[in-house]
Structure 1
Amino acid sequence: MLKFFRSLRQSLLAENKFNRYLLYAVGEILLVVIGILIAISIDNWNQERILKNEEQVALLNLKQDFEYNREALTKNIAITQKTIESNLQVLNYTGAKPKPETEDAFNILVNDVTVTSEFFPKNSFLDDLMNSGRLQIIRSAGLRDKLSSWKPIFDRIKEEERQTKSYSDPLLAFIIKNGSWLNADEVATSETIKKYTFPKSGFEVDNRNLLNYLEFENMIENLVIYHDRVLTSQKNGLKLVQEIIGLINKEIRDE
């Protein structure tokens, strides 16, 4: 095509037909411009396709991580709720109130009152996106906003866990000083404890005597409050995780 225009141009110049030559010269320029625009469009299309493919890979990795986080938080919420329920049951027996009929019944509660769930999420892929400044690869502004909100929520969960554990440690020390973990472990369900056969305690002790201490009652009551804070942060985290998964699924389906 360009060869044709070149020969035509030479012919027109030879015939001194400047106006017609100018027209064909403009046409030749337009062809070049159109060719450049087509090349740019193809390049842009390829770049867009690459970015979309990268986004889909990112979405699938994020989905996998947040589905893990959803499962982990669901389990942790169940643990925290059980701990709160056990602490509330203990408060029904303190001081002058009637005691549990058997020590074993009380020891089941003793094994639960100091349990603090710990959340260990999968954040590596999101962290990589955030640290590399590539979060913008996610086209959905709503999803980017939710992903950016995850770290503060996660940090809040860990902080509430830390505070609760720091408060449950004195209760653990109190039980060690005034009760018998050998007695309590006779009814423990932990796989680690069940691996071993512990002997009976060498002391005449009934863990129900812990219920006669005002200090024990106060620590149990305060732990209910601390664990409730953990529970609230865990539920907020689970809510955000579910929203993130929902938005991810929407973006994957839209492809």
Structure 2
Amino acid sequence: MINLFRKIRQENLIKNKFSKYLIYAIGEIVLVVIGILLALQINSWNQQRVEDEKEIALLTSLKSEFQHNLSTLNESIEINRKVTESCLQLTQLIRADSITKVPDLVDELLLNIGGISSFDARTGISSEIVNSGKLNILKNKDLRERLGNWLTLIGDSQEDLLFRSDNYTMNLMPFLIQRFPLANGELTKKLEHDKKNYLETYKVKSPFKSNLSQKDLMEFENQVWHHKHNHDYVVINELNIQDFILSTIEILEEELREKG
């Protein structure tokens, strides 16, 4: 097409038809400009397509990570629910002065209150996005803010996990060791991840019996209460994290639907 304009321009110059030459020269310039604009637009489309593909990949990876965290968190919530229930049941037995009357039940409850779970979030994808400057790839402003808040939320929850663990190890366990045959809990011990029954446990009950004074009972109640008190913070954190994860997954799914 450009060669045709050039040929016509040359013919017009030869024939001294300047006005026609000018028109064709302008037409040639316009055609070149249009070509440049089209090339720029195509390049822009290609860049946008690449950015969209990157965003979809990040959204998909984030959804997978948050779904994994939700599954792991739900398991932890269920385990910790059992700890709370066992603390409450132990308190009832203490107040009814029935600790020595139902030793088998007490052995089971003491085992349960020590079966605390700690939610260990997987944050590889979200951390990489936040720390590597990939946040700008995500167009949803709410989602970008959530990823920053997510890492903060997980970090803040670790403090309560440490309080619970330290109290159990340094306060409750020393009290129980001096007053209860804790080895009896081994008779019913079962770890969920011991799928092939590798775990070896005691098969015979301890010959020792617990004998608590009124002072011991009051301290026992306080120890159980303090353990539950620290445990409650962990439980609330997990329930808040669960709500956060569920709402984040909804946003991710909506974004993926719009881009699908």
TM-score (norm 1): 0.91
Confirm or deny that 1:30 pairs with 2:19. Answer: no
Q: CA deviation at 1:202?
A: 6.1
Match of 1:225 in 2: 229
Deviations 1:177-233, CA, capped at 9 Å, x for gaps: 332221222232336698324254665223x74883432221211122211111111
Native 8 Å contact 1:182 1:200 kept in 2: no
Mapped to 2, the partners of 1:50 and 1:26 lie a distance apart of: 36
Match of 2:200 in 1: 196
Q: CA deviation at 1:145?
A: 2.1
Match of 1:141 in 2: 141
Q: CA deviation at 1:124?
A: 0.7
Match of 1:113 in 2: 113
Equivalent residues, number: 254
TM-score (norm 2): 0.89
Structure 2 letter corresponding to 1:6: R
Mapped to 1, the partners of 2:166 and 2:113 lie a distance apart of: 14
When residues 20 and 72 of structure 1 are mapped into structure 2, their CA distance, relative to the original with a 3 A threshold, is: same
Mapped to 1, the partners of 2:38 and 2:73 lie a distance apart of: 51
When residues 71 and 130 of structure 1 are mapped into structure 2, their CA distance, relative to the original with a 3 A threshold, is: same
Native 8 Å contact 2:70 2:242 kept in 1: yes
Q: CA deviation at 1:120?
A: 1.4
Mapped to 2, the partners of 1:24 and 1:17 lie a distance apart of: 11
Match of 1:64 in 2: 64
Structure 1 letter corresponding to 2:55: E
Over the matched positions of the two proteins, sequence identity in percent amounts to 30
Native 8 Å contact 1:116 1:164 kept in 2: no
Structure with bigger RCO (C-alpha 8 Å, 6+ apart): 1
Mapped to 2, the partners of 1:222 and 1:95 lie a distance apart of: 16
SS state of the match for residue 231, structure 2? Answer: helix
Mapped to 2, the partners of 1:38 and 1:44 lie a distance apart of: 10
After superposition, where does 1:180-219 map in structure 2 within 5 Å? 180-190=181-191, 195-198=199-202, 200=204, 203-206=207-210, 209=212, 212-219=216-223
**5+ long unaligned stretches in structure 1:** none
**5+ long unaligned stretches in structure 2:** none
Match of 2:12 in 1: 12
Match of 1:153 in 2: 153
Match of 1:179 in 2: 180
Match of 1:101 in 2: 101
Worse-matched range after superposition: 241-250 or 14-23 = 14-23
Mapped to 2, the partners of 1:34 and 1:221 lie a distance apart of: 78
Native 8 Å contact 1:160 1:229 kept in 2: yes
Deviations 1:161-184, CA, capped at 9 Å, x for gaps: 111111111212221233222122
Mapped to 2, the partners of 1:102 and 1:80 lie a distance apart of: 23
SS state of the match for residue 127, structure 1? Answer: helix
Q: CA deviation at 1:131?
A: 1.4
Native 8 Å contact 1:73 1:119 kept in 2: yes
Native 8 Å contact 1:183 1:201 kept in 2: yes
Native 8 Å contact 1:171 1:219 kept in 2: yes
Mapped to 2, the partners of 1:23 and 1:39 lie a distance apart of: 24
Worse-matched range after superposition: 156-165 or 227-236 = 156-165
Native 8 Å contact 2:186 2:201 kept in 1: no
Structure 2 letter corresponding to 1:136: N
Q: CA deviation at 1:79?
A: 1.5
Mapped to 2, the partners of 1:99 and 1:174 lie a distance apart of: 15
